[in-house]
Amino acid sequence: MATTKLLDDNASPTASFIDEKDYKPRDSGETTSTESTDSLRKDYGDLEAQKQPAPPAPPVEHQVSFKSKLLFLGAYFILNLALTLSNKAVLGKARFPWLLTTLHTGATSIGCFVLFGFGSLKLTHLTSRENLTLVAFSFLFTINIAISNVSLAAVSVPFHQIMRSTCPIATIFIYRVVYARTYSNATYLSMIPLILGVALATAGDYYCTLSGFTLTVLGVLLSAIKTVATNRLMTGSLALSAMEVLLRMSPLATIQCVLYAFLTGEVDRFRSAYASGEFSNSFGTALLANAVIAFALNVTSFQTNKVAGALTMTVCGNVKQVLTIGLGIVLFNVKVGWLNALGTVVTIAGAIWYSKVELDAKRSRVGSKP
């Protein structure tokens, strides 16, 4: 995770109240009133100089207008749902999740390098330590996907969805522990319908092994860490743009995904399927469209994280889960019960409540400014 400098190391509050014009030489063995006063002032100044710096304030997320947040969140939702449907179609034809992720990160790399070539993207000079931070972030990105895939194989889908819905709680926990950031009671309470709603909307057969449960919890923590780390890379000491983070991270993630595809045997299976003529030209067109959507979503997702904040992104993840169920009903004639429908309503209501709390908090901050 990127290291964030919250306080200037050179800041050292000092105080001195001695004025040269008040200084008078004294006779041997004689103490003047002025000297006594100066001595007291000097002692007080020394005490003041020893005062510890005020503790650093917890980080605040990137502040932008509410309208801009809505625009980015709207674009994020549309692209996210579009990619979900596209992934469903692609994986239904060829189940190679790691190669599909390679396609996504590879397309993002190509898109960023094209923009860089046209001069639309400027790079920041980074130290070796900062470059290592980005390398570590790329590993976090890949490991998060790996743990999610492995845990999904060891638990039922409804159980996996319920556990993933607790990402907002994990995000709050990280901000409290690492950055000493607190939220209002209303924000904490708004998490209840967001999680309960997903639990109702995804209600089904719950199954997990001990190892599956452990991996799922680890996946939730890694997902929250990745979301917070993404935000801090763009709003912390590095303050990189979304495009620059993607440009530096995507090629590394692509290499890691290719290696994992080799290790899991996906590359060999893909070669066999391709040699047997399982893929048509229309499938190639679908892959191209999927790659373009993935690039657009990655850029929008990172920028939305920057302007809306890490917690809001995890809340959006919960809303996306129930909206996906709604799309399944409309597009694929998926049958759901009244409990699932109630869960969808509860989740959306929780998201509306959370949005109102955030908007009220923003208005309160603006109103308190002198």
For the chain, give the percent of residues with pLDDT over 70.
81
**Model confidence over 142-153: pLDDT tens digits?**
999 889 888 887
**pLDDT of 358:** 87
322 vs 335: which has the higher pLDDT: 322
Averaged over 225-240, what is the pLDDT? Answer: 92
Distance CA 369, CA 367 (A): 6
User: Smallest Cα–Cα separation from 152: which of 165, 140, 164?
Assistant: 164
155 phi and psi angles, rounded to 5 deg? -135, 165
Q: 347: which 2 tokens?
A: 């989740």
Identify the residue whose tokens are 């105080």: 15
Distance CA 148, CA 112 (A): 26
Give residue 259's pLDDT band: very low, low, confident or very high (50, 70, 90).
Answer: very high
Mean of all residue pLDDT scores within the chain: 83
Q: 218: which 2 tokens?
A: 């680890």
**CB-based contact 296:242 (threshold 8 Å):** no
**Model confidence over 46-80: pLDDT tens digits?**
444 444 455 555 555 556 677 888 899 999 999 99
**CB-based contact 13:45 (threshold 8 Å):** no
**Model confidence over 78-91: pLDDT tens digits?**
999 899 889 988 99
Give residue 44's pLDDT band: very low, low, confident or very high (50, 70, 90).
Answer: very low
23 phi and psi angles, rounded to 5 deg? -80, 130
Q: What is the DSSP string of 116-165?
A: HHTT---PPP--HHHHHHHHHHHHHHHHHHHHHHHHHHHB-HHHHHHHHT
186 vs 69: which has the higher pLDDT: 186
- Between the two ends of the chain, the Cα-to-Cα distance in Å is 35
**pLDDT of 19:** 42
Give residue 106's pLDDT band: very low, low, confident or very high (50, 70, 90).
Answer: very high
Distance CA 229, CA 226 (A): 5
Averaged over 355-369, what is the pLDDT? Answer: 79
- Eight-state DSSP code of residue 179: H
**pLDDT of 138:** 93
For the chain, give the percent of residues with pLDDT over 90.
57
**pLDDT of 62:** 53
Across 157-172, b (16+ Cβ under 10 Å) vs e yields: ebbbbbbbbbbbbbbb
**Model confidence over 268-279: pLDDT tens digits?**
999 999 999 889
Residue 88, judged by CB atoms within 10 A of its CB (0-12, 13-18, 19+), counts as middle
231 vs 206: which has the higher pLDDT: 231
Q: How many CB atoms lie within 10 A of CB 193?
A: 22
